[in-house]
Structure 1
Amino acid sequence: MAHLDLSMFKAYDIRTPAQQLTLDLSERLAYAEAYYFRENLGVQKVILCRDARLSGARYLEQGIRIFRDLGFEVLAAPQVSSACLFYYTCMRHPDAAGVMYGASHNPGGDTGQKIVAPGVQPIADGCGPGGGLQTIRRLYEQGARPQRIGSGKLRIVNYFDDYVRDSMRLADVSPGDLAGLRIVLDFLSGAAGQEMILAFTAAGAEIEPRNLVPDGHFPSGAPNPVVHASIAPSLEVLRSGRFDLGMFFDGDGDRLDIVAPDGRQISPAFNLIALVPRLRALFPDIPHPNVYVDLKANPLAIIRIARQGFGVHVIRNGHSQIKQALGKNAAAGFVAAVEESAHYYLNLRREGAVFPIENTLFYALLTARAWREDPALYRDLLDLQQTTFREREWGYHFPNDDLRAAALAAVEEAFVRNGWQAMHRMADGAAMDATLLRDGLPFVIDADTPLTEEWTQVAQRASQSERGLARWEVTAGTAARRDAAVRLIEETVRRFQAGQKYVG
């Protein structure tokens, strides 16, 4: 069934070149989702929206027609929407499922879908009620199609103003609170510009907007702040000396890169050091809050977070899987999570319920507030981060999955042969779908963990959203240790027909 493009079903969501998802196939997919929503989840209401991609309008138009014809109540947001506004809209209707048509930071020619169950429960591979994305894939293969039940309804929804207001309130940022703060905001022609501009302007910040207008042609380059060519012009503006910091967003606005005036990125784990006291204020009834950090998080950052009274736990990559873990463990005091890919998560309480969501506007405002209140702390954090040496995540494409798997196994074997330890499972026994390799470091790090400079950490994984791609990140106590680890990886993967180094 190769013509069905089953490769679009990724570990976290759906992603594929738009030309491969013809309207016939997207119709088949919509019927499979409708069947899953109704028969597996008991849902009669669905929220539909799109990001800035050129292909999004036709998929949204089609989805509105199909779900309505099948008898669903359709809550449609025809305007361009960020992923976080989509999640907020779903939170306002906790009895509804939701589909967002978009492809995050992928190239402009790609499309995809983010799918949630009622209560904003994430749907992914092995994640979500009723079998999650695996069930939708099976129904898609079968050509499942639910019966029409009654006449459907269409409602247009727009919670934009509420989202901005509630995000400002959640971050405890009032009009004028950010006065004097000068920020470069680059949206890479994606979906998040309007909400950010309105909130930051209301808060009194002096902003320099870049690539503000949503444009699915993505004229500045791939809508991915990791791609240097896409953000290079804005980095030059930031380095002019007139600004306090920069913020860079991806295509659907759920990624937040924080950059100092000299162009250095402050990693999410280090940024979390400044944010946890403010996060604690949101959960006054939790005496010992916990946060998740991904396996690439810098050990120095973990120690500093732990010293503020937080439990810090390593978690696998994957937006849906992280949100599922946050929601599942809310009663155990888990309140937030960060990924080094610049994604931030929160267990948001609303009307007696807990919603594990992403709200990049909240985190951008909270970061700006922290920077405005204590710029010296950020200077210290940047200096602390600078005492370690990081090769930010990069990857190689391999001709096939067998060679990719062999390369990952060979890299792990090479490090273990040199005395390193390998970790494949989280503390609760769940698979990380990745490998954490450490030398000179324990796997459990807390506030009292002693560190010398003689340590190195390597995280490696097979990409779940891009074909044939394996990824690595290296962090170390010295430049020599970082360089030696990078060199060993590069030398090992060459034996398995690795392509050119890929960053993105």
Structure 2
Amino acid sequence: MSQPLPAEIFKAYDIRGIVDKSLTADVVRRVGHALGTLALEQGQKAIAVGRDGRLSGPELSGALMDGICAAGCDAIDVGCVPTPVTYFAAYELGCNSCVSVTGSHNPPDYNGLKMVIGGTTLALDAIQDLKKRIEAGNLRHAKADQLGQRTSANVLDAYVDKIVGDVKLARPMKIVMDCGNGVAGAIAPALFKRLGCEIVPLYCEVDGNFPNHHPDPSKPENLADVVKALKETDAEIGIAFDGDGDRLGVVTKDGEIIYPDRQLMLFAADVLSRVPGGTIIYDVKCTRLLAPWIKQHGGIPLMWNTGHALVKAKLKETGAPLAGEMSGHTFFKERWYGFDDGLYTGARLLEILSRSADAGAPLKALPNSPSTPELNIKMAEGEPFALIDKLKAEGRFDGAEQIITIDGVRVEYKDGFGLARPSNTTPVVVLRFEADDAAALERIQAGFRAALRAVWPGIQLPF
């Protein structure tokens, strides 16, 4: 048995922790050793390694590659690139395995690992098994003359060429682009210029301190600069990327944020025009207007768990051409690889919008309902799951037409829905509400307030 690892870094969809506290170079090297062992057991010979723009990236990716090579597996350094480019490298280099060293949209002192071995994204039990493997010492130790080779490869040009070869804009466009000082800034401006866009750039310099705003486009306050730039320039649409480039935010000329579940409507109608009868997957946080829209456009709606790794697994299982999450992860299997890619999603968005003289019109025409953004109840570690278990067992929701429990508790009413689910990444309960009108929204929220307080007395609610 080897030294135990900090349990809190082994999350549901990735490994994530505070640099030099729970996530040290030694911990990452040990994880790399386990990943190299796992890859070799599955007949894989190499793992591509990319990193985002965080200050800790070079040290941690170096430690990861040392660990991979210690097992006798090769490590291919693809450099400082968006997470989707690391995923792309696994295909482009033919190695089928990759790790992105990224803290995604977390604060600057965080970092982590998103892992794909043999074409499968590691999640849930597979991540816990990795921890057990390391602590049990179940690792392959290569002899000195059989250590893995560490090489480097540049896949950025191939990635840009692939998108430019696939996506065609009907006309040139002028766009606001906010990279939030995340790693997307290293490539997105050049990519979108090649697609035929004139760019009003915001924070496209990669800076792991994130000096301007947090790189998380799911939060409205982080899109304020995009709204302002759209007002002050003649750009016709605004896009924003998260810290590692796998999620997209969208803002119309008049400053309306088009949330990802409505973006998914636009993409679904487009994809279903070429893949009639296709299944479209969406997570439990998405609008209830999605299912009828998908049916109306000849598709099969499928609600699924939140989490990029879980959605990817379902995409693979069903052969669906498209999936999306409320958080901004969109997965195109039609014409692309099925991984979440904010840059490619942005390109596909502009391809559709460029067909209209008014770029915002197709977005403004999408069905909409009064809804809340994601609301969070902050709790102690472990409490969110306990609360949701109690809510499933004891919660009373008068007037509910259906209660869906695939991921938390989603209560469907004739005129709206309410959702409470435990986050798999931070100790919070995530809430979301939507209804036909403000009165129905308030009624549904009141019902949830009563149910939550009944099962967890003294709970502090954000609504």
TM-score between the two structures when normalised by the length of structure 2: 0.90
Change (3 A) 1:412 1:458: farther
**Which residue in the other structure is 2:76 paired with?**
75
Amino acid at match of 2:230: L
Instruction: State whether residues 102 and 114 of structure 1, in contact with CA within 8 Å, keep that contact through their aligned partners in structure 2.
Output: yes
Take 1:375 and 1:465, find their aligned partners in 2: how far apart are those partners?
41
1:398 aligns to 2:394 (yes or no): no
Q: CA deviation at 1:254?
A: 0.6
**Which residue in the other structure is 2:112 paired with?**
112
Q: Alignment partner for residue 441 of structure 2, among 482, 494, 501?
A: 482
Change (3 A) 1:481 1:376: farther
Q: Alignment partner for residue 327 of structure 2, among 332, 341, 356?
A: 341
1:47 aligns to 2:29 (yes or no): no
Q: CA deviation at 1:456?
A: 1.1
**Which residue in the other structure is 1:310 paired with?**
299
Instruction: State whether residues 241 and 248 of structure 2, in contact with CA within 8 Å, keep that contact through their aligned partners in structure 1.
Output: yes
1:327 aligns to 2:327 (yes or no): no
**Which residue in the other structure is 2:339 paired with?**
357
SS of equivalent to 2:333:
strand
**Which residue in the other structure is 1:121 paired with?**
120
SS of equivalent to 2:374:
strand
Q: Alignment partner for residue 249 of structure 1, among 237, 241, 251?
A: 241
Instruction: State whether residues 388 and 408 of structure 2, in contact with CA within 8 Å, keep that contact through their aligned partners in structure 1.
Output: no
More displaced stretch, 202-211 vs 89-98: 89-98
SS of equivalent to 2:199:
strand
Change (3 A) 1:487 1:375: farther
Change (3 A) 1:112 1:161: same
**Which residue in the other structure is 1:435 paired with?**
409
Change (3 A) 1:490 1:249: farther
Change (3 A) 1:112 1:400: closer
Change (3 A) 1:496 1:250: farther
Amino acid at match of 1:267: Y
**Which residue in the other structure is 2:290 paired with?**
301
Take 2:436 and 2:30, find their aligned partners in 1: how far apart are those partners?
52
Q: CA deviation at 1:484?
A: 2.8
Aligned length in residues: 457
CA shift digits 1:2-36 (9 cap, x unpaired): 96211111111111111221222222222222222
Take 1:81 and 1:17, find their aligned partners in 2: how far apart are those partners?
21
**Which residue in the other structure is 2:156 paired with?**
160
More displaced stretch, 476-485 vs 231-240: 231-240
Instruction: State whether residues 186 and 206 of structure 2, in contact with CA within 8 Å, keep that contact through their aligned partners in structure 1.
Output: no
Change (3 A) 1:280 1:31: same
Instruction: State whether residues 398 and 404 of structure 1, in contact with CA within 8 Å, keep that contact through their aligned partners in structure 2.
Output: no
Q: CA deviation at 1:278?
A: 3.7
CA shift digits 1:403-460 (9 cap, x unpaired): 6523673488555244453112xxxxxxx232221011xxxxxxxxxxxxxx011122
Q: Alignment partner for residue 38 of structure 1, among 37, 40, 46?
A: 40
Structure 2 unmatched runs, 5+: none
Q: Alignment partner for residue 165 of structure 2, among 161, 166, 169?
A: 169
**Which residue in the other structure is 1:148 paired with?**
142
Q: CA deviation at 1:469?
A: 0.7
Instruction: State whether residues 407 and 493 of structure 1, in contact with CA within 8 Å, keep that contact through their aligned partners in structure 2.
Output: no
Amino acid at match of 1:416: F
Instruction: State whether residues 167 and 361 of structure 1, in contact with CA within 8 Å, keep that contact through their aligned partners in structure 2.
Output: no
SS of equivalent to 2:13:
coil
**Which residue in the other structure is 1:450 paired with?**
none
Take 1:241 and 1:144, find their aligned partners in 2: how far apart are those partners?
58
Q: CA deviation at 1:501?
A: 3.9
Change (3 A) 1:247 1:498: farther
Change (3 A) 1:491 1:142: same
